[in-house]
Structures are given as C-alpha cells and as structure tokens.
Amino acid sequence: MNDTTPPEPPVTPPVTPPAPAAAAPVPAPTEPAATYKFPPSIHPDGNKFVVLAAVLTGFFWFIADWNILGWLSAGLTVWTFAFFRDPARVTPEGAGLVVSPADGLVSQIMEVPAPREISGSERGIGEGTFTRVSIFMSVFDVHVNRSPIAGTLRDIVYVPGKFLNAELDKASEHNERQYFVVEGADGRRIGFTQIAGLVARRIIKFVNTGESVGAGQRVGLIRFGSRVDVFLPAGTVPAVAVGQRAVAGETVIGRPGAPGERLRGVSQ
C-alpha cells in the first residue's frame, strides 16, 4: 500500500532583526569659561561716597590748586570705590554646607553659648553650645555680607552699642551689632552677627524678617571695618582654620561632621 501522506514543509528559522546601532554618547554640557570683570561693580550705597570724594579731588586740583590735597583726595576716591566694590560670587551647592557671610580673616574659632539676643527655640537658634567662627574684615576687604545658607529669615535683631576694636572678643557683647537667624529647608538654623568696629559707624541690612534668601545672597553691609560671627549648630563643624582668608558667598566655613572635628592650618 502506497504512502500518500504529503511531506512536511521545511521549517524556516526565525529571522533575527539586526541589533540597533548604539546611540552616540551625549557630550556633557560644558560651562563657559570664567572671566575676570574689571573694574568690579560697586554697591549703590557707596555711590554718594565716591561722588563726594571725586568732587573734593576736583576742588583741590582745579579750584584751590592744592596739588598735595588733590592727590590725597584722588587716593581717597580710589579707596572708597574699592571699599564699596561688590563683585559677583559663585556659591558652592551641597547638603549641609555653610558658606562664609563675609570677606576677611578667620580670626577665631571657639565654643560659646548662644547669644541671648537670638537664643530660644521660637525664633532663635536654640540653647546650648555653638561653634563660633569669627571673620574680621579690614578696611581693604569687601564689606557686603551674604547669607551663609538658603532658607527663611526667622529673626533680625539690632543692638546699639560701643565701637571697640572688632578683633577683641568682648566686641561681640559690647559693640553695635545686628543678628540674623536663617532657617534652612531641613529645619537647621544658622545665626550670624554683623559687628561694628573702631571705624565702622553704620550697619545696614537689605532684607527683612520672614523673607526667603538664597545661599550667598546679599543681606547687608557694614561701613569701614568690622567683624562677622557665625554660629554653627551641633552636627556642623568648621571647614576652615584660624588664619585662613574667607570669601563671602564662596568659602565653605561649615560642613556636616562629628563633634570635635577641627581643621588645623599651617602658616607658610
């Protein structure tokens, strides 16, 4: 008996599509190169002082014909412009970082109780011991002050007082001063103080209680030599050493860390 079953058709193997070509890597965005701006901008509060010094220079040179006083006034004009300079700053970003509110010399780092003017939990920085970082501003430093962290201004307290040398420790209790308390998004509060000195005769603020500020934002100005103290809470340790130079809005002066951590500097 003949087998009439038709043969099975050949099995065609599945066609594997070719693998897609690998995507070309996307180059990382590059930041434009930084350039130095000269002359730097001047804060508006200094315009009247620069104009006054320039008028005196013109008077001594072209009207009174007192060349010596003219040269002295010209030097005063240049110094006044330099004093009120307000250069742009690049503020580093990072969790828990505290940037310097002032240009100047880190003159002292010590453990202190919370100042009574901003102690307490309602609007102050709380109770207990804080690490105070003091930054002394000479008459040659930029005197525009900036917020050390981003957050909300919980309190601003102005205290009239004396005009002792701002480098003295007792200046923080006896001199004319102005306290700021900034609360960050994480609930951490940082206090800092503008302290008048021997030459400084006016403390100015650009912000008010309840306003939001960014890290490195301009918040005030002290005229003609002074000091700024920053109070670091528990869990935040100094990131600078005594004798270092700080740049407002750029130098990181505090970072998260364990109690007792402290940088030591070598003068060379």
Evaluate whether 253 touches 231 at the Cβ level (below 8 Å).
no
Return the closest-CA partner of residue 192 out of 156, 244, 218.
Answer: 156
Evaluate whether 161 touches 201 at the Cβ level (below 8 Å).
no
For 78, phi and psi rounded to 5 degrees? -65, -45
Is 100 assigned a catalytic role? no
For 225, phi and psi rounded to 5 degrees? 90, 125
Number of H helices, E strands in the chain: 3, 14
Q: Which of 100, 147, 172, 226 is catalytic?
A: 226
Return the closest-CA partner of residue 205 out of 187, 181, 178, 176.
Answer: 178
Report H helices in the chain: 47-58, 67-83, 171-174
Evaluate whether 100 touches 148 at the Cβ level (below 8 Å).
yes
The residue behind tokens 């005009």 is 163
Which residues make Cβ contacts (< 8 Å) with residue 138, sequence separation at least 6?
Answer: 104, 105, 225
For the residues of 195-225, what is the DSSP string, one character each?
Answer: EE-SS---EEES--TT-EE-TT-EEEEESSS
Evaluate whether 166 touches 136 at the Cβ level (below 8 Å).
yes
Task: List active site positions.
Answer: 226
